[in-house]
Structure 1
């Protein structure tokens, strides 16, 4: 998840990156050099509850890679609030790492800068072949018709986490399957200083992810077939309003959540302050905050009616992390070897187990560790009812503009100002005006 400031800066810098044709990475401050072919710099995204947790997960694996290859990997775990901004700075300055994690929704935007190594058939063959990866993960690696800009590393999906004891105390028999049921459950849970549902109202990425799912359920999209922004259609307006109304009208989200941006809603859920949470692969995060797996259940994200599935029954975006290489790295061979290592069957089992994510490598998914009830929900969602965010060059600006518009609507709701169809449409009109002109 990324902060407003970082995402807004990123949108401006992406335009600069596109204009500069992207210099790439692998500089004296980041990647390996001709004098140091046995060294790589790796920017990892913050996947755990804190940066130190990521270091504990990753460093033993990097040490293992060094022992196998003789290549030392210098690790930096970059917070989500800084990651996109750091990457875009690297594409224009040439001061970047050799290998880096990217949010898979950024793939097409970063691909358009020209900074990242294209994963053509030859490069895929060097890491064991393209057919090792599941199709849904490959669908979020860049624009259609182009070689992927990155390789899938962790696959995730949104799910509904619910507090079993709070449900029992409120007389709720089981997890809601529709939004009407979720609102009804949320009202029963919202009492005595506790709330039905947590949200990250000040987090643009989280806002966009949920708005995208609601839009899909309304049969709408934020982009036309030719890639033009279209934020103000009836379906998209209704989708955004339905999401914000969980606070504004239904009153099952605490007004203070309008200011949340960095995992606070996960912490509230872990501490029993909220009864439900919509989150990507949250089990490891909850465990690190002391919540027992027995204390919560996991179910598919609700839909408008019926059960999740194809078409309008989409209930998650295809979430995940991709692994990319700056194409002007001075150590492309070492960087490719590192990608091969990180996406090997063995490492995929280790890393995705640590982060409660799903391996995008088919063979690794067969491990019994990924057959738990929680993982079964995520795997089923990715296979049947998840859709990739638009793989268009302007996706990064879309996240910034629409995510910020929703943040402002949540602020209105928290302050007691009316959130109406007209005010939602006005906010989305303003967001669309911030998009690059076609």
Structure 2
């Protein structure tokens, strides 16, 4: 079976070709693997506030790599709306880059294609050894028991961002349980003022799938069994989704316009502008919040709370990994590049503008980390459960996430989504995945 890939995060669309940094690849502007041994083609994901921002962040670092090795880098920064489709095309055509950023939740699905170089003992030694990575980040590189085909680059985790002033004015403290969260969200909602307790990317299938997973995990749920077969319709899964939908449906703590928010940047902007008291987002939301005029001292972050008595799971170990296409014509150069990008000095430089969590043991144990970073690291290392490590994980995100998009859209137009309707939608999604993998 050929896995069908879909974008697993949403950000600015399009691709930015960084010129003036390196010579073109041997295939000109196609962005394919270089064959002369003196250049590399690298597809970078959009991590900053814009594609242009990524160019500004990465260009000086890649110039250092060129100075150290003599290898020039043909860099393309690609928006998340396009990255997975470009990878799919590269996998099927054989015309891809040498090195590519992937969302780590794609690792198992991409591994199953056979298109990426395994980091066996020799390759791992060439990039500095597996011991330099933290245990949790390295675990995201592929299916359990198989040689990883990606290594961690940037760490991410979800947290609950809250507006300190709004909470103080209402006499509230950051919630530690789901019950407190919903109560606070309702108290902080005042539609007449255009203020809501929460803002959600309710039209983003990736965000919706992520929170379907986390809410279900708090209930002890699973989306696939030990054989890799989908188990979407379990009570834990249905109830987890219902709990999330009800922030808009019954608590009325989310503006119904959020059903049109197809990426997390929109909900984050609402938060920064005082239109929402809370958002659920990853640690790299800092850049967007602050670029919208909200300084770091105006908000705080706590773990996404579970219902009383439920499992204390607040995220999954999210992030960005690096993979090398197996058909690269510059394997040695690609390995040198991965070693450079995952070195202590490069990591220390890039983690700051991207507000990324450290993926190296040495950095994660540093004592000068901010309180917010320590909170996210605690979530990442102790309160995170991996998304399903099965080849069909991408299909789970697409089918379940898009069904939730439809549910939020119905709620936004005044309809009610019942438990039975959720189960029916999940049955449809489960059937689609089963048929695709039958």
Give the TM-score normalised by the residue count of structure 1. 0.91
In the alignment, the residues of structure 2 paired with residue 391 and residue 234 of structure 1 have an alpha-carbon distance, to the nearest angstrom, of 21
The residue matched to 1:114 in structure 2 has which SS?
coil
Give 1:349 shift.
Answer: 1.2
In structure 2, relative to structure 1, the CA distance for the partners of 1:330 and 1:26 (3 Å cut) is farther
1:21: which partner in 2?
A: none
2:94: which partner in 1?
A: 94
In the alignment, the residues of structure 1 paired with residue 32 and residue 95 of structure 2 have an alpha-carbon distance, to the nearest angstrom, of 8
1:332: which partner in 2?
A: 331
Q: Deviations over 1:320-360 (max 9, x none)?
A: 11011111011111111000000001111111122111111
In the alignment, the residues of structure 2 paired with residue 113 and residue 302 of structure 1 have an alpha-carbon distance, to the nearest angstrom, of 37
2:396: which partner in 1?
A: 398
Unaligned runs of 5+ in 1: 9-24
In the alignment, the residues of structure 2 paired with residue 110 and residue 33 of structure 1 have an alpha-carbon distance, to the nearest angstrom, of 21
Pairing 1:343–2:345 present: no
Give 1:270 shift.
Answer: 1.1
1:260: which partner in 2?
A: 261
1:373: which partner in 2?
A: 371
In structure 2, relative to structure 1, the CA distance for the partners of 1:74 and 1:437 (3 Å cut) is closer
In the alignment, the residues of structure 1 paired with residue 437 and residue 53 of structure 2 have an alpha-carbon distance, to the nearest angstrom, of 42
In 1, are the aligned partners of 2:7 and 2:83 still within 8 Å (CA)? no
In 2, are the aligned partners of 1:41 and 1:98 still within 8 Å (CA)? yes
Give 1:290 shift.
Answer: 2.4
In the alignment, the residues of structure 1 paired with residue 73 and residue 32 of structure 2 have an alpha-carbon distance, to the nearest angstrom, of 10
The residue matched to 1:387 in structure 2 has which SS?
coil
Pairing 1:302–2:337 present: no
In structure 2, relative to structure 1, the CA distance for the partners of 1:26 and 1:298 (3 Å cut) is farther
2:410: which partner in 1?
A: 412
Give 1:391 shift.
Answer: 1.0
Pairing 1:210–2:208 present: no
1:430: which partner in 2?
A: 428
In the alignment, the residues of structure 2 paired with residue 49 and residue 199 of structure 1 have an alpha-carbon distance, to the nearest angstrom, of 19
1:235: which partner in 2?
A: 236
Larger displacement relative to structure 2 (98-107 or 160-169): 160-169
In the alignment, the residues of structure 2 paired with residue 353 and residue 343 of structure 1 have an alpha-carbon distance, to the nearest angstrom, of 14
The residue matched to 2:52 in structure 1 has which SS?
helix
1:12: which partner in 2?
A: none
Pairing 1:126–2:123 present: no
In structure 2, relative to structure 1, the CA distance for the partners of 1:42 and 1:182 (3 Å cut) is same
Alignment of 1:149-298 (within 5 A): 149-172=149-172, 174-191=173-190, 192-262=193-263, 263-281=265-283, 282-298=285-301
The residue matched to 2:321 in structure 1 has which SS?
strand
Superposition RMSD in Å: 1.7
In the alignment, the residues of structure 1 paired with residue 216 and residue 27 of structure 2 have an alpha-carbon distance, to the nearest angstrom, of 42
The residue matched to 2:230 in structure 1 has which SS?
coil
In 2, are the aligned partners of 1:245 and 1:419 still within 8 Å (CA)? no
1:13: which partner in 2?
A: none
In 1, are the aligned partners of 2:33 and 2:96 still within 8 Å (CA)? no
The residue matched to 2:375 in structure 1 has which SS?
helix
In structure 2, relative to structure 1, the CA distance for the partners of 1:26 and 1:89 (3 Å cut) is farther
Give 1:221 shift.
Answer: 0.8
In the alignment, the residues of structure 2 paired with residue 437 and residue 338 of structure 1 have an alpha-carbon distance, to the nearest angstrom, of 36
The residue matched to 1:92 in structure 2 has which SS?
helix
In structure 2, relative to structure 1, the CA distance for the partners of 1:293 and 1:247 (3 Å cut) is same
Q: Deviations over 1:205-243 (max 9, x none)?
A: 111111111011111111111111110011111011111
In 2, are the aligned partners of 1:26 and 1:328 still within 8 Å (CA)? no
The residue matched to 1:256 in structure 2 has which SS?
helix
2:321: which partner in 1?
A: 322
Unaligned runs of 5+ in 2: 9-24
Give 1:131 shift.
Answer: 1.2
Alignment of 1:26-65 (within 5 A): 29-34=30-35, 36-65=36-65
Give 1:419 shift.
Answer: 1.0
In 2, are the aligned partners of 1:27 and 1:95 still within 8 Å (CA)? no
1:363: which partner in 2?
A: 362
Give 1:6 shift.
Answer: 5.2
Give the TM-score normalised by the residue count of structure 2. 0.91
In the alignment, the residues of structure 2 paired with residue 7 and residue 101 of structure 1 have an alpha-carbon distance, to the nearest angstrom, of 13
Paired residues, what number?
411
In the alignment, the residues of structure 1 paired with residue 76 and residue 348 of structure 2 have an alpha-carbon distance, to the nearest angstrom, of 22
In the alignment, the residues of structure 2 paired with residue 351 and residue 289 of structure 1 have an alpha-carbon distance, to the nearest angstrom, of 21
In 1, are the aligned partners of 2:34 and 2:98 still within 8 Å (CA)? no
Alignment of 1:1-40 (within 5 A): 7=7, 29-34=30-35, 36-40=36-40
Give 1:365 shift.
Answer: 2.2
